[in-house]
Amino acid sequence: MYNLKVVIIGAGIGGLTAGIALRQAGYEVEIYDRVKELRPAGAGISLWSNGVKVLNRLGLGEKMAAIGGLMDRMQYLTLKGDVLNDIDLRPLVEEVGQRPYPVARTDLQQMLLEAYPGEVKLEHKCIAVEQDENSVTAIFENGHRTTGDLLIAADGVRSLLRTYVLGQEVQPKYGHYVNWNGLVPASEDLAAKNSWVIFVGEHKRASMMPVSGDRFYFFFDVPLPKGTVSSPEHYRAELTEHFQGWAQPVQNLIQRLDPYKTNRLEIHDVGPIDRMVRGRVALLGDAAHATCPDLGQGGCQAMEDGLVLTQYLLTTNISMEYALKRYEADRKERTSAVVEKARKRAEMIHGKEPEITQKWYQQLAEEEPADVRGAIAKVILAGPLR
Ligand code: FAD
C-alpha cells in the first residue's frame, strides 16, 4: 500500500514501535497521547528475544544492547534462599539467536522517542472516532480533529477505543495479585549481577534482574483481594510484613528500595477478544491483549503487533482492509495464546489452587534447566521473526 496517513492513539511501547516501523516504511504518521508528560508506568521490563528482534529489525539493536542488562543466568530460590534451579541462559540465546534484555523503562521509552522521527502530540485525549469508506477521524477532548486512512488504537489496558472496535465494553480482569516494582543500585549482597533471581514461596515472588547503570530492576508479587490501597510511606512496612522470614537478600532489598520511587499496582489482563479491527481502526498492544506479567511478554507482543501490521501494509497491493484482516488473523492467534498462557502461569504462581502451586515449587526443584529453556524458546520462536 502506498501513501497512507496513519493516526496512532497512545505513545506507549506499542504506539511508538508502530510509529517507528510505519515511518521507516514511508508512511505519514501522527502520534497522540493524552498525558502532559510521557512517563512510563513501571520501573523496568524484561524484553525477551522476540521483542528485541523487532528492535533489531528497526535498526535499534545496538541502542538496545547499550541500555539492556546482561542476564546470563536465571535462578529460582526458595523463600529461605536455597537454590531450586539455576538455569544458564546462554544456550537459549544460541537457540533463538538473540539475547533477552532487562531494561529500565525510562531508558527504553527515551530510545523509542529518539528513534521516532516526529513529535508526539501530548495533551490530546482521544474521545471518539468516526469513519466512512474513505477515511477515519480521531476526535480529541480539546476540540482537535485529525483525519487519516488508518487509525491505530494503542491506548493501553483501559482502552477507550477497544469499546468502539468491539461494539461492547470489555473490562480488564483482575489477576488477583499486587505487584511492587522499582530500581535499586546493584549489589552482590542482593543478587549476582549477571543473574535474574526469583525467590518463590507462600504464593509470592521477590525478584531482581540487572539493567544498565549498575542497577537491578526488582519486583514483589503478593496475592491480595482487589481494592487494597496503600501509599509510599507504608510500602516498606507492607513488604516487611508480607516477606517476613524470607532470605536476607529479600530483607536487604526491602530496606534499600526507595518507596517514593516504587510503583504498586494491581495486575490486570484483557481478553482474548474476538476482534482487533473495525473498518479502518486497528487495536494494538495492551488495548487488545494486556497480559499478566508472568511470561514477560506483554510489551514484546505490542512490539510484534507494530512490525506485523506494517509488514502486511507494505506487502499487499490489494487493499488496506485486506492488510488489516491479515493482521487481525495473525495477531489474534498469537496474542490470545500468550494471554492465556500468562494467565494460567499467574494463577499457578499465585496460588489460585494451592496444590498446583506446591507442585510447581516441586517441579522447579526437579526440572532440567534444558526444559525451562525449551519452554521459553517455544514462546519466543512462535513470534514473527525467527
Ligand atoms: P501503554 O504502555 O499502556 O500505553 C498506552 C498509552 O496510551 C499511554 O501513554 C496512555 O497515556 C495513552 N492513552 C490512553 N488512553 C488514551 C486516549 N484516550 N487518548 C490518548 N492517549 C491515550 N511486558 C514485557 O514484555 N516484559 C515484561 O517483563 C513486562 N513486565 C511487566 C510488569 C508489570 C508490573 C506490568 C504491569 C506489565 C509488564 N509488561 C511486560 C507488559 C507491558 O508493560 C505492556 O504490555 C506494555 O507496556 C503495553 O504497551 P502499550 O503501548 O500497548 O500500552
DSSP for 227-246, please give it. T----HHHHHHHHHHHTTT-
Give residue 372's pLDDT.
94
pLDDT, tens digit (0-9, with 9 covering 90-100), for 251-280 = 999 999 999 999 999 999 999 999 999 999
Cβ of 181 less than 6 Å from ligand 1: yes
Q: How far does residue 38's CA lie from ligand 1's centre (Å)? A: 12
Distance between CA 368 and CA 327 in Å, rounded? Answer: 37
Q: Which atom of ligand 1 is the closest one to the Cα of 298?
A: 45
Give residue 1's pLDDT.
73
Domain residue spans of the chain? 5-172+269-381
C-alpha cell at 55: 528492535
pLDDT > 90 fraction of the chain, expressed in percent and rounded: 97
Q: How far does residue 50's CA lie from ligand 1's centre (Å)? A: 17
Instruction: Yes or no: say if 304 and 47 are a contact pair by the CB < 8 Å rule.
Output: no
Q: How far does residue 192's CA lie from ligand 1's centre (Å)? A: 29
Average pLDDT over residues 20-38: 97
From 329, 340, 337, select the one nearest 276 (Cα to Cα): 329
Q: How far does residue 170's CA lie from ligand 1's centre (Å)? A: 17
For ligand 1, mutation pick of 30, 31, 45, 52 (most atoms within 8 Å of CB) = 45
pLDDT > 70 fraction of the chain, expressed in percent and rounded: 100
pLDDT, tens digit (0-9, with 9 covering 90-100), for 151-182 = 999 999 999 999 999 999 999 999 999 999 99
From 331, 322, 237, 347, select the one nearest 275 (Cα to Cα): 331
* 11: confidence class by pLDDT, cuts 50, 70, 90: very high
Burial class (CB in 10 A: 0-12, 13-18, 19+), 146: middle
Cβ of 35 less than 6 Å from ligand 1: yes
* 239: confidence class by pLDDT, cuts 50, 70, 90: very high
For ligand 1, mutation pick of 13, 162, 209, 345 (most atoms within 8 Å of CB) = 13
Q: Which atom of ligand 1 is the closest one to the Cα of 219?
A: 34
Give residue 262's pLDDT.
97
So what CATH class is 5-172+269-381? alpha beta
41: pLDDT strictly greater than 90:
no
**C-alpha gyration radius of the chain:** 21
Torsion of CA 214, 215, 216, 217, to 10 degrees: -140
Which residue lies with its CA nearest to atom 33 of ligand 1? 293
Which residue lies with its CA nearest to atom 21 of ligand 1? 33
* 40: confidence class by pLDDT, cuts 50, 70, 90: confident
pLDDT, tens digit (0-9, with 9 covering 90-100), for 216-232 = 999 999 999 999 999 99
Alpha helices in 167-247 (DSSP H): 232-242
Give residue 30's pLDDT.
98
Helix, strand, or coil (residue 170)? coil
The strand ranges marked E within the chain are: 5-9, 28-32, 44-47, 73-78, 83-88, 101-104, 120-121, 126-131, 136-140, 145-148, 150-153, 173-185, 195-201, 204-211, 215-222, 263-269, 277-278, 281-283
Give residue 196's pLDDT.
97
Instruction: Yes or no: say if 4 and 320 are a contact pair by the CB < 8 Å rule.
Output: yes
Which residue lies with its CA nearest to atom 47 of ligand 1? 299
